[in-house]
Structure 1
C-alpha cells in the first residue's frame, strides 16, 4: 500500500516539475524575444545617469514592465561592435558608459543586448570616464551642471574616499552592486506576477486537473495489480479483469494494453483544445476538441483540481526538483557537478 502512495506522490511531483519547467521556458522565451530584461536595465541606467526629464524611463507598475516597456520607445543605446573611440562622440552619460561596455555586448535588432553589468566592470567604466573628463572633480561638476541623478552618489563616494582614486572606485562598485541588487528584487517582483498569469493560462489551456490526475495514477496502479493477479490465476481471473474494462468485454487484454499505453501523465495533457494522436504506423492525427475543453472549464467539479495545479506551478521548478530528489533518493555527486 505504501508503494501506491509513493507512486502517487512521485507522479504528482513529476507532473508539477514538468509543467513548471514549461512555464519557466515560456516566460524566459518571452523575456528574450521582447528584450525585457535588457530594456529594464537600460531604462534604469538612463534615469540614473541622465535623469528622466519629466518622464521616467524605468517602469513603476507591472503593466508598464510587460505591456508598455517592450513596445514603447527603446531606451537602449544602438549596438556597436567597434572598440571605445579615443575621442567620444556620445552626447549623454549613458552613451559614455555604453562606449566602455561594448566588448561585452552582442547585437540584437540594432540595439544593445546587455542585460547585466558586473559591478566591477561598471566601476572600471566610470574610472575610464573620469580620466576622459579630466578627473573626478571635473566630472562631478559636469554631472551637477547637467542635473544628473548620478551626481549625489558619486559625490558621496568621492567625499568618503578623501581623494583616493582606488577607494573611490571601490565605493562606486559597492554602490552599483547595491543598486543592482535592489533592481533585481524589483524585477523579480514584477516577474512573479507574470509567472502567475502564465501559470493560470497554462492551467486553463491544458485544463490540468491535479485531482483527476491523481485518480488516474491510482487507476493505473489498480489495473497493473489486476493484470498481475490475472497472470497468477489464469483464465479464472478474467471475469474480474473484464469488469475493469467494460469497453472491451471480449478482449480484456487489449483493454489493458490500450490503457497502459496511455499513462496518467499522457491523459493529463490530452484535454487541450487541440490534441494530436499518433497511431501505429500512421501519420499524426490532429483533432479539435474545443467543446470538450470548454465543458471541462465550466464544470465546477474540475475547479478544485485547476486551483491545486495553479498554486503548484507558482512554487517553481527548483522547488519540485528538490522534492523529487528527496522522494526518489537522487543524489548529485560533487565531483560530477564541479567537473561540468
Structure 2
C-alpha cells in the first residue's frame, strides 16, 4: 500500500515537473521576445539613482532622475552595450530604433558614473551639464561613504577606490532588482501554469484517481521516471537557453532568473536571443511530446461533453468541477521544477529502500 502511494506521488510529481519546465520555458520565451529584462534593468538603474538622494542647488531632494538615467545610458561605457538612440519621453527613457541592454556589468556602471562625475556631457546645455555632473558626483560620494574607508574618501579617493566602491554599490543594489524580477516572473508563472492546466486539462484530482486505479499506467510512468533520474539531462525535463549564457537542466530550472546574463556585444545579443527563442520553442514541443509518450492522464479526451441539452450551462458545470484541479496544478507548477525534480529523487530513494530485493522475495517465497 505504501509503495502504491509513493508511486502515485512520483507519477503526480512527474506531471508537475514536466509542466513546470514547460511553463518556465514559455515564460522565458515571452520574456526573451518582449525583452522585459531590459526594462527591469532600466527601472533598477532609476531606483539606484533615487537611492542616492541627489539634491539640487538649493539642497532639495530630486525625485526625477530621468536626466541622470539618460546621461548614464548615453555615456561611453554603457552606450557600447546597445544600438539605437536614447530618448526621453516625459520621465520615461527608451531607445529609438533599437533596444536597451538587458545587462550592464558593474565595472561599466562604475566607469560611467566616474566619467559623468568628472566631465561635462557635451550633448546638453552647460547649466544642465553642471547640474548633472554635481548629481553624479553625489552618487560617487555616497558609494565612497558606504564602501570606502574614511581615509580613502574625498580627495584621497584614488580611481581604483572609486571604481571598487561603485562596483560594490551597484552589486548590492542589483540584489533588489533580482527580487523584483523573481516576484514578477512568479506571478507570470502562476498565470502561465493555469493557462497550461486549462489548455491541456491537467486536473490534479483526475490524475490521482487514474493513477490509483490504473496500475499498468502507474508502473510505466514510475519506471520511466526512475530511468530518467539516472541520466544527466533527462530529455523530458531539460531546459536550455544559450541567450542567458548558460544551460539549465531540471535540477536548476526555476523562475528566479535575474535580468541580464547575456553577452554585452549587441550583435551577439541579438543572435543569442534568436537562438534562445528557437531552443525554447523546441524545448516546449519536446516536453509536451514526452508527456504524450508517457500516456499521462491529461487532455480533454477524457471529458464527456454535456448531452442533456444544457448547452453552455452544462459546460459551465463541467468547468466548475475541473476548476479546483486546475488551480492545484497551477500552484504546483508555480513551485518550480527544481522542487519536483528533488522530490522525485527523494521518493525514488524511499521506494528503493522500502521495496524488497527480488532475490530476497524469491528466497522468502
TM-score by length of 1: 0.56
2:77 to 94, 100, 106: 100
1:116 to 103, 106, 112: 103
Please state how far the C-alpha of 1:207 moved relative to its aligned partner.
2.2
1:125-164 alignment runs, 5 A limit = 125-129=112-116, 145-146=131-132, 150-158=136-144, 161-162=153-154, 163-164=156-157
Indicate conservation of the 8 Å contact 2:82/2:98, yes or no: no
Q: Which residue of 2 aligns with 1:196?
A: 190
Q: Secondary structure at the match of 1:268?
A: coil
> 1:320, 1:303 → 2: CA distance?
22
Please state how far the C-alpha of 1:10 moved relative to its aligned partner.
1.0
> 2:112, 2:302 → 1: CA distance?
52
2:334 to 311, 314, 325: 314
What are the Cα deviations for residues 163-193 of structure 1, in whole angstroms up to 9, with x where unaligned?
A: 3122222211111112211122122222222
What are the Cα deviations for residues 75-104 of structure 1, in whole angstroms up to 9, with x where unaligned?
A: 9xxxxxxxxxxxxxxx9422333x314565
1:269 aligns with 2:299: yes
Please state how far the C-alpha of 1:268 moved relative to its aligned partner.
0.8
Please state how far the C-alpha of 1:36 moved relative to its aligned partner.
0.6
1:45 aligns with 2:45: yes
What are the Cα deviations for residues 33-70 of structure 1, in whole angstroms up to 9, with x where unaligned?
A: 1111112212443676699x99787xxxxxxxxxxxxx
Relative to structure 1, the CA distance from residue 48 to residue 182 in structure 2 (aligned partners, 3 Å threshold; closer, same or farther) is: closer
Q: Which residue of 1 aligns with 2:10?
A: 10
Tell me the matched-pair count.
237
Q: Which residue of 2 aligns with 1:216?
A: 210
Q: Which residue of 2 aligns with 1:28?
A: 28
What are the Cα deviations for residues 241-278 of structure 1, in whole angstroms up to 9, with x where unaligned?
A: xxxxxxxxxxxxxxxxxxxx98651x3134599xxxxx
Relative to structure 1, the CA distance from residue 101 to residue 28 in structure 2 (aligned partners, 3 Å threshold; closer, same or farther) is: same
CA RMSD after TM alignment: 4.2
Q: Secondary structure at the match of 2:214?
A: helix
Moved more, 7-16 or 301-310: 301-310
What are the Cα deviations for residues 223-257 of structure 1, in whole angstroms up to 9, with x where unaligned?
A: 899xxxxxxxxxxxxxxxxxxxxxxxxxxxxxxxx
TM-score by length of 2: 0.53
Indicate conservation of the 8 Å contact 1:123/1:172, yes or no: yes
Please state how far the C-alpha of 1:114 moved relative to its aligned partner.
2.4
Relative to structure 1, the CA distance from residue 150 to residue 180 in structure 2 (aligned partners, 3 Å threshold; closer, same or farther) is: farther
Indicate conservation of the 8 Å contact 1:220/1:264, yes or no: no
1:323-338 alignment runs, 5 A limit = 323-329=343-349
Indicate conservation of the 8 Å contact 1:196/1:314, yes or no: yes
Relative to structure 1, the CA distance from residue 263 to residue 186 in structure 2 (aligned partners, 3 Å threshold; closer, same or farther) is: closer
Q: Which residue of 2 aligns with 1:254?
A: none
Larger Rg: 1
What are the Cα deviations for residues 103-124 of structure 1, in whole angstroms up to 9, with x where unaligned?
A: 6558999424521223234223
Indicate conservation of the 8 Å contact 2:44/2:174, yes or no: no
> 2:99, 2:23 → 1: CA distance?
27
